[in-house]
Structure 1
Amino acid sequence: MGVFGMSIETPCCWNPLHSTYEYDKKEKDYIIRGVHSYIQQFFGPSIMYQVNSKNVLPISLENVESSSIKCPENTKPEELEACFQNSPNQKTTIHLEGPLAGNICSDSVIYKADFLDVDCLRNRKESEILRHFKGKRLRCMNTSFSNSQVIEFLNAWKSGQMLKKSKLLGIHTNFDLNEDEIMGKVDHIKFNKRHGNKENTVATTTGQYLIRESDGQKGYLTISQMSVHLAVFGQTGGHVNFDI
């Protein structure tokens, strides 16, 4: 599958020395829609269409499967939501950066992305993202999650109240986390696994996992000083990779 990416930055007229085209800023949206429509007609559905936008919200385009948006200062959630009007269910990734002037609504299409990567939505209720996300993979960067918030989330996951469909979660916080304090208030199971044969033991891996009460799903958990990773691999376990 090919990939067509459209970057939306400062508009620029035709310059033969640099092969660029400068245009009236008022015509930007019209030109972008025209170029996108032409590319779709030429290549058809075999192309994965991506939108990359920095410090300006992109217009809503059809058949976009992946978006990376660095929001301008004080972007309103409804303005961000409008960017996905013509491609509401993006199949791959939505990456968001920058502060919002409000909270994303609970039924936002943003929460339905396969992979949601949120970086630095300052002063927002970050727990709302965990509560409403409906996709498979979630990463929250530069958050202000505390020990008590992590404890609350993990217990909510165990009881089936949050992230029922998610397979991978990564939380990176700007505050120090205390693994002993967190695990002391979350019911979990520790495991040890030795690698090697009977004669030679290469290494021993230790870890812990949670069991979701409603369906017995296992959530393999790793906590460091500034991050929490949870990987759900069903009742029988399997290979765990936290690199998301």
Structure 2
Amino acid sequence: MKLLKYPRLVQDQILNYTVYSDLFLLSLLSKKMKNLIKSYQVTRFKHITSIVYDSYTIDHPLVHIGCRPFSILKFSEYEETANVKFQLNISGKMIDFQSSDEYYCPVALFHPHERESVIESIHNYFLDFFETSVEYHWITNNYKISIPRLKNLAVCIHMFIPRRFEDMKNLDNFFSSCPVLKSIDIDFYADESLSPESESRLYQAESIRTTQFDQKTPAVLRNFQGRQAFLMYFACDVSDLIEFVNRWKSGEAFRKLEYLTILIYREGIPRDETLNSIGARHIDATRKPPTHTVRKSYIDNPFKPMTDPIMSHSYVVRDSDNRVASVLIEGNTLSFGVWDKTEEEFLRMVD
């Protein structure tokens, strides 16, 4: 079929974020030509950190670049009146496309039984073009829609689980069938807990943000294995905070942890008591401590790519490797930032 809307080839268009849809024209080119174009645009491509399949509010995903507000592709089922504009051979599969006045990008069409194969073909094209220079994220808030198992794909979930939740079995099935979890943002108020397998998947996510009535369901503070956690509880025992820090200090748990904050809605955290109980060490009050901040594991806001800074005169040291973590307690919030430095290296950064 004739290309009606996308006649130009190409490298100047790739320079402009508003025409990223034309990346699909590269599928018509030889691998040698693709590599030539990429070599010309190497600086611009460095700004592309992720390809996102966004099915947050729709059944079939929009594809966009990182946190950018515009889309480069839409997936959709055929309708009886589907107006096919052109076909492309994507990773060996002929796929029909139409234009979209709503999304201002090409729409890849599929019959229901072809959904996963069409998405997989286009995903393989991205892998061929970008290889491992970008991350591939699938974001969703709907546990009832299956997520294809695609190479190098990580899943980002945002869910609200109400107090009287009656579909825990299907939610468990969703987690057990999910590909690798990159980020979980979950408000968990249900009386019934997830299955042990599903909870385990939660704890393995790189990044988690959770709001909970009961801090032990799920028990993120005790079992988290990822890099960054943002926890909000209505109530939390100080002894659990102390246990968390002491387990990190001993090297027993939280080996990958970079950053963690705990906000307790209903009560403040006794600062001196807690610092004494975790064996905190202190920088002289007349000196300026270094500021801890790291790049967020999953960036949902391009204007806030870094974690909130932690500047604290208090710190703890891990026994096994002498690594340092800054500890800041302010009101009802505890912030914990792990440095990739020994105590000696850390103290050399103090002004």
Give the match's secondary structure for 1:145: coil
- Per mean C-alpha deviation after superposition, the further-off stretch among 224-233 and 184-193 is 184-193
Corresponding position of 1:218: 324
- Per mean C-alpha deviation after superposition, the further-off stretch among 7-16 and 92-101 is 7-16
Is 1:135 the counterpart of 2:222? The answer is no
Is 1:122 the counterpart of 2:205? The answer is no
Per the normalisation by structure 1, the TM-score is 0.71
Counterparts of 1:40-119 in structure 2 under 5 Å?
40-44=123-127, 46=130, 48-54=135-141, 56-63=143-150, 64-73=153-162, 74=165, 76=168, 79-80=171-172, 82-83=174-175, 85-87=177-179, 89-90=180-181, 92-100=182-190, 101-103=192-194, 105=196, 108-115=200-207, 117-119=208-210
Between the two proteins, the alignment pairs up a number of residues equal to: 222
- In 2, distance between residues paired with 1:141 and 1:211? 25
Root-mean-square deviation (CA), in Å?
A: 3.7
Give the match's secondary structure for 1:123: coil
Structure 1 residues 69 and 237: alpha-carbon distance in aligned structure 2, compared to 1, 3 A threshold? same
Is 1:6 the counterpart of 2:70? The answer is no
- In 1, distance between residues paired with 2:211 and 2:312? 32
Deviation per residue, 1:59-92 (Å, 9 max, x gap): 23223323122144325377346346351x34x4
- In 2, distance between residues paired with 1:38 and 1:104? 34
Give the match's secondary structure for 2:248: helix
Structure 1 unaligned residues grouped into runs of 5+: 21-27, 196-204
| Larger relative contact order (CA 8 Å, sep ≥ 6) | 1
8 Å contact from structure 2 (residues 328, 336) kept in 1: yes
Structure 1 residues 113 and 206: alpha-carbon distance in aligned structure 2, compared to 1, 3 A threshold? closer
Is 1:181 the counterpart of 2:273? The answer is yes
Counterparts of 1:174-213 in structure 2 under 5 Å?
174-175=265-266, 176-192=268-284, 194=287, 207-213=313-319
Corresponding position of 2:245: 154
Structure 2 unaligned residues grouped into runs of 5+: 1-48, 61-78, 84-99, 104-110, 289-310
8 Å contact from structure 2 (residues 155, 178) kept in 1: no
Structure 1 outlier segments of 4+, above 6 Å: 12-18
Corresponding position of 2:20: none
Give the match's secondary structure for 1:33: helix
Structure 1 residues 180 and 144: alpha-carbon distance in aligned structure 2, compared to 1, 3 A threshold? same
- In 1, distance between residues paired with 2:112 and 2:330? 45
Per the normalisation by structure 2, the TM-score is 0.52
8 Å contact from structure 1 (residues 8, 54) kept in 2: yes
Structure 1 residues 5 and 98: alpha-carbon distance in aligned structure 2, compared to 1, 3 A threshold? farther
- In 2, distance between residues paired with 1:239 and 1:7? 47
- In 2, distance between residues paired with 1:70 and 1:180? 36
Deviation at 1:211, TM superposition (A): 1.6
Letter paired with 1:231? G
Deviation at 1:167, TM superposition (A): 1.9
- In 2, distance between residues paired with 1:238 and 1:105? 42
Give the match's secondary structure for 2:346: coil
Counting aligned pairs with the same residue, the percent is 17
Structure 1 residues 81 and 164: alpha-carbon distance in aligned structure 2, compared to 1, 3 A threshold? farther
